[in-house]
Amino acid sequence: MPDDSKVTISAVAARQTLDSRGYPTVAVRLTLDDGATVDASAPAGASTGEFEAVELRDGDDAYSGRGVRQAVASVTGELAEALTSHPWATLHELDAAMIDVDGTDNLARLGANAVVAVSIAATRAFAHVADTSVHAWLARLTGSSERLPVPHFNVLNGGAHAANPLDFQEFMVAPVGAASEEEAVQTGAEVYHALAARVKQRFGTAGLGDEGGFAPDVANPHEALDLLVAAIEDTGLTAAVDEVAIAIDPAANGFYQGDGRYRVDGRVLDRGQLVDYYERLLDTYPLRSIEDGFAEDDHEGWRLMFDATGRRTQLVGDDLYVTDARRIEEGALSHWSNAVLIKPNQIGTVTGTLDAITVAREHDMRCMVSHRSGETTDDFIADLVVGTGVGQIKSGAPARGERVAKYNRLMEIEAESGGIPYGLAEGSAR
Ligand code: PGA
Ligand code: ZN
């Protein structure tokens, strides 16, 4: 007798689709036994952490080696065979089966880009079978209280995402004090437009970075932060940690020189000097969060920074943890940071992503769900952040289809569901 709480996959299709940088990524469609279809596609990073699950690229003539035909073949070949072999009682079981078929500890054989797309589509399949939304299904699975997150709009781009001389990768606006997701999105968009006017006036024109933020020729982080504060104030709102706050992702791997030394603003700083540099920024600007302020393997730098600033600001590990529960646990015990960035494709499965959030919570670390710099219009992370209730998301600028897909989905969830609170989770004021 068919069990209607189980997911039965009758067909698996996959193909190459273009991401927001014009490179291919994996798109998957699962057909279920009731005829319904669920889709998903994988995002792709540019400033990736060394320990991320492996994104399989063909390395041949197509797309400068960045084709994903092998990963597509993983889905339609070995994964399809496993996925259609029997009904699935849990997402955990399905994800574990894919890891098993892959046989490596970092999904290097089949490709994390293949596996994560299937895993996201499968999550949608479980929600479909349970006749509920993806966010509600995830909340039930994880025992979380749903929450609409504070969006972190990346409006000024540098580092690996832009061609300008700015060392730091991301400068974000976070409408912490907004009353709703809709109001937060409006604030983000208004600041973005005010910034556009200032950038045009000061620099003539400016290109855009990969995540839709402006990439003018600002010389250094101070100049970028001054511009941002001015743009926030242009909208009539207050730049403050509990109103319209700022967050940065220096992505320090990009300017790490090795041996505890970092090149910032044309100067080489040692660990202590870089901590001082960040402390001056914290004293001067309404900064609520610093992500990857130190390089992924500079644990001594992370510890110094945590000791100096961990009580007054959010310190987020991205490349440091690569959404890996074991690394997060190590970071918690070693006092590397008080927060974790959550990117499903870094670990390769939705189950692994939820495990990362669980471990972070067990250690009182905050989480921020994140897109990648290469994206499609897949909006899964919007449901993920609401369903796990972690209270923070970053999805780039409030412009460009692949970025606004997530923000628009959040507003849709707010409008449809009614009663889900907006804002940072309890105890994460800064
Ligand atoms: P990536 O960058 O998606 O290019 O890795 C995003 C980030 O560093 O947060
Ligand atoms: Zn980052």
In this predicted model, what pLDDT tens digit does every residue of 307-341 receive, in sequence order?
999 999 999 999 999 999 999 999 999 999 999 99
Ligand 1 pocket residue status of 210, Cβ below 6 Å: no
Quick one: which atom of ligand 1 is closest to the CA of 169? 8
What's the gap in Å between 291 CA and the centre of ligand 2? 6
Quick one: which atom of ligand 1 is closest to the CA of 292? 8
What's the gap in Å between 160 CA and the centre of ligand 1? 9
Distance CA 429, CA 56 (A): 39
Whether residue 169 contacts residue 254, with contact meaning beta carbons closer than 8 Å, is answered with yes
What's the gap in Å between 250 CA and the centre of ligand 2? 8
- Residue 294: partners with Cβ closer than 8 Å, 6 or more residues away: 252, 256, 262, 271, 274, 301, 302, 305, 320
Out of 373, 395, 403, give the residue to mutate to test ligand 1, the one with the largest number of ligand atoms within 8 Å of its CB. Answer: 373
Out of 172, 248, 370, 393, give the residue to mutate to test ligand 1, the one with the largest number of ligand atoms within 8 Å of its CB. Answer: 370
Quickly state the pLDDT bin for 430 (edges 50, 70, 90): very low
Whether residue 376 contacts residue 402, with contact meaning beta carbons closer than 8 Å, is answered with yes
Report, at the CATH architecture level, how domain 9-131 is classified.
2-Layer Sandwich (3.30)
What's the gap in Å between 44 CA and the centre of ligand 1? 9
Question: Which parts of 196-255 are beta strand (E)?
Answer: 207-208, 214-215, 244-249
- Which ligand is located closest to the Cα atom of residue 320? 2
Ligand 1 pocket residue status of 372, Cβ below 6 Å: yes
279 phi and psi, to 5 degrees?
-65, -40
pLDDT for 234-282, tens place per residue?
999 999 999 999 999 999 999 999 999 999 989 999 999 999 999 999 9
DSSP element (H, E) containing 210: none
Between residues 430 and 259, the one the model is more confident about: 259
- Residue 259: partners with Cβ closer than 8 Å, 6 or more residues away: none
Structure tokens of 298?
């500079």
pLDDT for 104-139, tens place per residue?
999 999 999 999 999 999 999 999 999 999 999 999
What's the gap in Å between 420 CA and the centre of ligand 1? 29
pLDDT for 5-36, tens place per residue?
899 999 999 999 999 999 999 999 999 999 99
Closest-CA residue to 125 (of 26, 2, 9): 9
Name the residue with the closest Cα to ligand 1, atom 1: 45
- Which residue, chain included where needed, has tokens 């945590």? 306
SS3 assignment, position 124? helix
Closest-CA residue to 394 (of 43, 31, 26): 43
Q: How many degrees, rounded to 5, is the angle at CA 320 between CA 317 and CA 321?
A: 80
Q: Which pLDDT value is given to residue 160?
A: 87
Question: Side chain identity at 253, as an amino acid letter?
Answer: N
Whether residue 389 contacts residue 159, with contact meaning beta carbons closer than 8 Å, is answered with no
Report which listed range, 204-213, 394-403, 418-427, is most confident.
394-403
Interval 342-350 mean pLDDT: 98
Question: Which parts of 210-281 are beta strand (E)?
Answer: 214-215, 244-249, 256-258, 261-264, 267-270
Given CA atoms 317, 322, 328, 334 in this order, what sign does their dihedral have?
A: negative
- Which ligand is located closest to the Cα atom of residue 154? 1
Ligand 1 pocket residue status of 20, Cβ below 6 Å: no
Quick one: which atom of ligand 1 is closest to the CA of 49? 5
Give the number of C-alpha atoms closer than 13 A to the C-alpha of residue 325, restricted to the C-beta side: 14
Residue 422 has pLDDT above 50, yes or no: yes
Radius of gyration over every alpha carbon of the chain, rounded to an integer in angstroms: 21
DSSP element (H, E) containing 373: none
174 phi and psi, to 5 degrees?
-125, 105
What's the gap in Å between 343 CA and the centre of ligand 1? 9
What's the gap in Å between 251 CA and the centre of ligand 2? 5
Tell me yes or no: is domain 141-416 CATH 3.40.140.10: no
DSSP letters, 349-362, are: SHHHHHHHHHHHHH
Residue 25: beta bridge partners?
Answer: 17
Quick one: which atom of ligand 1 is closest to the CA of 43? 3
Ligand 1 pocket residue status of 353, Cβ below 6 Å: no
Out of 19, 23, 47, 113, give the residue to mutate to test ligand 1, the one with the largest number of ligand atoms within 8 Å of its CB. Answer: 47
Provide the annotated active-site residues: 211, 343
Residue 1 has pLDDT above 80, yes or no: no
- Residue 168: partners with Cβ closer than 8 Å, 6 or more residues away: 158, 159, 221, 224, 248, 249, 250, 251
Closest-CA residue to 398 (of 181, 208, 186, 198): 186
Ligand 1 pocket residue status of 211, Cβ below 6 Å: no
Ligand 1 pocket residue status of 46, Cβ below 6 Å: yes
- Which ligand is located closest to the Cα atom of residue 346? 1
Quick one: which atom of ligand 1 is closest to the CA of 373? 3
- Which ligand is located closest to the Cα atom of residue 370? 1
Interval 409-418 mean pLDDT: 96
Question: Side chain identity at 389, as an amino acid letter?
Answer: G
- Which ranges of 243-298 would DSSP assign to H, the alpha helix? 271-284
277 phi and psi, to 5 degrees?
-60, -50
SS3 content of the chain, % helix, strand, coil (to 5): 40, 20, 40
Interval 344-366 mean pLDDT: 98
Quick one: which atom of ligand 1 is closest to the CA of 210? 4
- Which residue, chain included where needed, has tokens 């105890």? 427
Ligand 1 pocket residue status of 48, Cβ below 6 Å: yes
Ligand 1 pocket residue status of 318, Cβ below 6 Å: yes
What's the gap in Å between 48 CA and the centre of ligand 1? 6
Give me the chain's average pLDDT, please. 96
Every domain of the chain with CATH number 3.30.390.10 lies at 9-131
Every domain of the chain with CATH number 3.20.20.120 lies at 141-416
Given CA atoms 283, 303, 223, 372 in this order, what sign does their dihedral have?
A: negative
Question: Side chain identity at 153, as an amino acid letter?
Answer: F
Distance CA 337, CA 364 (A): 11
Closest-CA residue to 155 (of 189, 197, 204, 203): 189
Helix 350-362 vs helix 112-129: crossing angle, to nearest 10: 80
Helix 380-388 vs helix 350-362: crossing angle, to nearest 10: 30
